[in-house]
Amino acid sequence: MTLKQLQQHLLEQTLGNTLALEFIEQLRPCGELAPKQQILIYQQNAFAARQTVLLSTYAVCVQILGERYFKHICKAYIYATPSTHIDLNLYGETFPDYLAEQLLRQEALKDFPYLPDLALLEWHFHRLFFVANVPEFDFAAFAHIETGNQHHLQFHLAESCFFMPSDFPVLSLWRSHKAANPTSTMPAGDEYYCIYRQQGDMLIDDISSDLFTLLQGITQGWTLGTMCQHNLDSLLPQLIEKGWVSRFSIAHV
């Protein structure tokens, strides 16, 4: 077995929950530790590290499901999802999608249809903490845009913001749990949120459907002309003021 094969075996077994005979044969007893137990120690360490991160990132989901059930739910996810980022803090990006799949499969989750949206909100609130700072909007350059180009202006969203819709009031739920005053009432309704970082603070705003449409349009490459056609251009200053729009460019006609 080459060194690379040996290391591949160990890494696969460390991140999973299986034992490969081929690898066990490469080991000798280590004090009182038989070869199988040697591998199990690494498996348990790697599992615990990823579980700890999920418990911290999805803290409100943990509160809602209870730590024991949350751990049960995330067990298969951890084994199926190796870490692909050097920073362990960024493990668990796909957990909201996993929860959405589990909703369809697990009867015990049928009372928690909002869980994937809540998890998505928690993930981005966590992720944006680590995102690079946004340069300030260049008002001076903006003031010098030629009149003929104004309709072709395109705006770009800051990396430090993320917006999402939800059929459930998950922001109220998240806030009530963060305030240690959990609510159980969950009226359905259209909700739109923008999660962002502003001057050192992590914030979440409840936004209007018009603002959400505009944010969506910006990500689709709407020009200022298109915004005017949708009568949404008047909302643009808000986005710039909040730091959600960080720069502009002129679309090629």
Partner 1 sequence: MIDSSAAQHHPISGCGIGLRAPHVHEIITTHPDIPWLEILADNYLAEGGLILEHIQEIAQRYPIAMHCVGLSIGSAEQPDLDYCKKLKQLAENINACWISDHLCFSSLGGHYSHDLLPFPLNRQTLALCVQRIDQIQQLLGQPILLENISSYMHYAASSMSEIEFICALTDLTDCQLLVDANNLYVNHVNKGLDIDEFITHLPHHRVKEIHLAGFQPMVNFLLDAHNQPVADPVWELYARLLNYCPDTPTLIEWDNDIPTLDVLLAEAKKADSISQHPISDDIETVATASA
- Residues listed for the chain: 253
Residues 19-48 that bind partner 1 (CB under 8 A): 25-33, 38-39, 41-42, 45-46
- For residues 13 and 19, the answer to whether their CB atoms sit within 8 Å is yes
Tell me the backbone φ, ψ of residue 192, rounded to 5 degrees: -135, 135
Is residue 131 within the footprint of partner 1 (CB under 8 A)? yes
Residue 54 vs 232, nearer CB to partner 1: 54
Is residue 3 within the footprint of partner 1 (CB under 8 A)? yes
- For residues 235 and 214, the answer to whether their CB atoms sit within 8 Å is yes
Is residue 204 within the footprint of partner 1 (CB under 8 A)? no
Contacts with partner 1 by CB under 8 A: the residue count is: 45
Contacts of 69 by beta carbon, 8 Å cutoff, 6+ apart: 108
| Residue window 209-248: x/- pattern of binding to partner 1, with contact defined by CB under 8 A | ----------------------------------------
Is residue 80 within the footprint of partner 1 (CB under 8 A)? no
Tell me the backbone φ, ψ of residue 215, rounded to 5 degrees: -60, -40
Is residue 94 within the footprint of partner 1 (CB under 8 A)? no
Instruction: From 203, 167, 205, select the one nearest 186 (Cα to Cα).
Output: 167
Cα–chain center distance at 59: 13
Residues that bind partner 1 (CB under 8 A): 2-4, 6-8, 10-11, 14-15, 25-33, 38-39, 41-42, 45-46, 49-50, 52, 82-89, 91, 129-133, 197, 200, 202
